Amino acid sequence: MSAFCVYGMTITHAKKLAEKRLEREPNPKTKEEWRDKMEVTAEAILTGHAPVQVSPTFDAPQFAREWIEVAQRTSKIYAPKVMVRQQKVDKHGNPMVSKTTGLPAMGWAPYKA
């Protein structure tokens, strides 16, 4: 049985990353300044950060596509992509094996319908 999920970046996740990033900087004078700076930083993260898993895992790709549709209607999501869990391969196309367990190494790869 395969597993599917959605990779991308949501505004909610971008705001969390922006808050963490701004915690290290000196505090602005007012809450409005901090909020404005956080919004600008979140927008930059939304479009420039590496994609992360933003959905739970699903049994079928159509559920992941439905999740994308709902996310686009209810929130801001950037570059959503359906991914499938499969065995990793090296640059020559040979299957990779975990050195610690000896089992096939698994990872997320773009889903091609």
Output the pTM of the full model: 0.78
C-beta of residue 38 within 8 angstroms of C-beta of residue 79: no
In which band, very low, low, confident or very high, does the pLDDT at 1 lie, cut at 50, 70 and 90?
low
In which band, very low, low, confident or very high, does the pLDDT at 25 lie, cut at 50, 70 and 90?
confident
Compute how many other C-beta atoms are within 10 angstroms of the C-beta atom of residue 73: 8
List residues bridging with 58 in a β-sheet.
4
Residues 55 and 19: their CA atoms lie apart, in Å, by 21
Residues 61 and 74: their CA atoms lie apart, in Å, by 20
Compute how many other C-beta atoms are within 10 angstroms of the C-beta atom of residue 28: 14
Phi-psi region of 69 (alpha: psi -120 to 50; beta: other; left: phi over 0): alpha
- Domain residue extents for the chain: 4-110
Residues 87 and 95: their CA atoms lie apart, in Å, by 7
Residue range 34-76, pLDDT digits in tens: 888 899 999 999 999 999 999 999 999 999 999 999 999 998 8
